Structures are given as C-alpha cells and as structure tokens.
Amino acid sequence: NFWNQAKRRLRKFNGIPKEHFELYLKECEWRFNHSEIKVQISILKQLVKQNLF
C-alpha cells in the first residue's frame, strides 16, 4: 500500500519542511511506481545522461 510505504520512508527524516513536503511525497510516489531497484537505477542513469550531455 502506497501510504504505508510513504510513511515508513518519511519517518526516516527528522521532520520535513512544509515547502518541500510535496517533493518528498513525489519521490515516494516515484519509488512506489518503480519498485525494482534495477529499474530505478536505470531510469536515474538515463536522466543524468540526458541532463549532462
């Protein structure tokens, strides 16, 4: 369940600024939708490659 996973992840941080909460939540959503670590790494590598070259 998304909310259980998000709560578990957000608990790791010692408070989240209100102005950044939406970004933290978006990251949780992204991690939930791309749950396999290999897929996450592949997507992140592609994003880095696109933004650097």
What digits encode the pLDDT tens for the residues 1-53?
Answer: 999 999 999 999 989 999 999 999 999 999 999 999 999 999 999 999 998 76
Burial tier of 39 (Cβ tally within 10 Å: 0-12, 13-18, 19+): exposed
> What pLDDT, on the 0 to 100 scale, is given for residue 53?
66
Report the C-alpha gap between 40 and 53 in whole angstroms.
20
pTM here is 0.77
Longest dimension (CA), the chain: 38
